[in-house]
Structure 1
Amino acid sequence: MKTHFITQSSTAKTSMFILLVCIFQLVSFSVKAQNTTEGKWHFLIEPYIMFPNMHGTVGLGELPDASIDENPGDIFSHLKIGAMLYAEASNDKWSISSDLLYMKLGEDVTPRQLINSGEVTIQQLAWELAVLHRFLPWLDAGVSAFVNNIKADADLDLSQGGATSRNLNQTWVDPTIVARVKIPLSTKWQLQARGNIGGFGIGSDFMWQMQTYFSYQMSKTIVLSAGYRIISSDYKNGEGSDRFLYNVDTFGPVLRFGLNF
């Protein structure tokens, strides 16, 4: 007999409403920027790869919390699909950016006393949409909406006969304040640092992110970057069997390949 256990964030509808409001505001800012600022718009498309470590605690329902301590080798050995893409449109005063990170991990369940076999699949989507204003030649600041979605599916073959399927789907949105510093080191080299702070109890209790890169302008069109990124999220929702906890730091080196238009 196959049973299903589904945990859904009780604030999913509220989170999606907040997301739509944030997107509407960001688009409104961009339209205003096009109408009120002078200067040509430039576009950057930047696929990238992150070598992530994951450290923290996750909790589901009334089960004991589980510790996570994964290195890049652990994660890539279970990686089924991965996609990371940064895109930005900017002029003299405004920048509008999108940052997408998606991972799908799968692992066979080790047979144990009550389980003959099984498979667990986890999908994680993180997407940031941001609008920044240039206050100084080297400083941009603004706001963003950081969307997080985690899906987990477990299909188990039980030793006592029958099968069970458990499913988890959690979505939340973190509003954040963003600041970015760009410092030219030469005609070809640049140092860039970008940070977020947010959550504010609307999504996560607290969320922060820090990125630092050295960039090399190979040509007018091509730019290469290498750096380090940390994403920290402390999110919890629900009680009892509906409880979900995600207090995890994801961090590691990043390589980026950019195309300017």
Structure 2
Amino acid sequence: MLATERENAIVPAQIRLIAASCVVALHLLTGTAAFAEEAASTTGTAPQNGLSFTVTPYLWIAGISGTVSTPFSRVPERSVEANFGDTLSNLSGFAFMGSAEMRYGRFGLLADVLTLTVESDVSTPRDRLFLGGKGRFSTTSGTVLGTWRAWEDGSNALDLGAGFRPWSVNTRLSLNEGLLAARTLKPSASWIDPVLALRYTRRLGTSWSASVYGDVGGFGAGSDLTWQLLGTINYQVSDSISLRAGYRHMQLEHRKQGTDVDVGLSGPLVAVSFRF
């Protein structure tokens, strides 16, 4: 009975940390790669033969929903529901996100990096074996994609991309002393997802265009499957500045050591791109 209660006390905390990992990493990490790829598409689709460099800050107001399954028989599955405010309210310490893309003619190179920490209090059932605690989640990752413009005319452009996305995730779960002595769990994981990407841009006028971006990755090498779709309407303010607004959905399936994560994120987004 003691072992069973201990299991039940720890599981909800672990589930919350897994959910926080999904929310943060998907909101801030994979969004960087998608938007950097999207940013490389200027409103016009005429060939660009010279060297160009693009950076894009953005805001994705996304919510998350899905399920997390665990190897614990008493809590085999837990629903995950959170909004963007839940993530922002739990940010702790230093957070950095940046992305850039260099293009030369038909070829491009995308790079981005992210590091951040999320921290929140943890509740334990009935506060008997453990009197609550604190969870801390840290992640560092980058994405590298090579791109190639496969088709282009005066009104349309099609880009293909391939690369990889490494992840490093560290979790610290500290449980306060109750009937049992205080304890700290430090699970961590790292993996690399291969990624294939495609982007189509259609010019709608002198200053307007529409873009659709999609990628798929994982393939069992790291995640079992990760994919996303992003559509934006773009307005070119000048030769170097573009405004973007649209909608995005991202899905992640990751299974390891009996813990299955299947979550999706969806929501509107806005961005501004600077091209040099």
Contact 2:130 2:182 in 1 (8 A): no
Q: 1:126 to 1:214 in 2, by over 3 A?
A: farther
2:62 counterpart of 1:52: yes
Letter in 1 for 2:79: S
In the alignment, does 2:181 pair up with 1:181? no
Displacement after TM superposition at 1:165 (Å): 0.7
1:15-72 per-residue CA deviation (whole Å, 9 max, x = no partner) reads xxxxxxxxxxxxxxxxxxxxxxx93110001122222312222345546333211112
Query: 1:7 maps to what in 2?
Result: none
Normalising by structure 2, we get a TM-score of 0.71
Distance in 2, matches of 1:86 and 1:210, equals 19
Under a length normalisation based on structure 1, what TM-score does the superposition of the two structures give? 0.75
TM-fit CA distance, 1:128:
2.5
CA distance in 2, matches of 1:147, 1:114: 37
116, 119, 122: which is aligned to 1:109? 122
- SS of structure 2 residue aligned to 1:187: coil
Match of 1:141 in 2: 160
Which residue of 1 is the match for residue 31 of structure 2?
none
Worse-matched range after superposition: 180-189 or 124-133: 124-133
Query: Per-residue CA shift, 1:165-202, capped at 9, x if unaligned?
Result: 11121222221221111111222222111111222221
Q: Distance in 2 between matches of 1:99 and 1:213?
A: 20
Deviation of the 1:96 alpha carbon: 1.2
SS in 2 for 1:79: coil
Q: Partners in 1 of 2:254 and 2:215 — Cα distance? A: 16
Q: 1:249 aligns with which of 264, 267, 274?
A: 264
Q: Which runs of 5+ in 1 are unaligned?
A: 1-37
Secondary structure (helix, strand or coil) at the match of 2:221 reads: coil
Instruction: Provide the aligned length of Structure 1 versus Structure 2.
Output: 220
- Match runs of 1:93-242 below 5 Å: 93-100=106-113, 102-110=115-123, 112-137=127-152, 138-160=157-179, 162-238=181-257
8 Å CA contact retained: 1:48, 1:84 = no
Listed as ranges, the gaps of 5+ residues in structure 2 are 1-47
Q: CA deviation at 1:236?
A: 1.0
Letter in structure 1 aligned against 2:230: Q
What is the CA distance between 1:140 and its match in structure 2?
Answer: 0.6
| Conservation of the 8 A alpha-carbon contact between 2:201 and 2:211 | yes
Task: Quote the offset at 1:82 in angstroms.
Answer: 4.8
2:160–2:197 contact (8 Å) kept in structure 1: yes
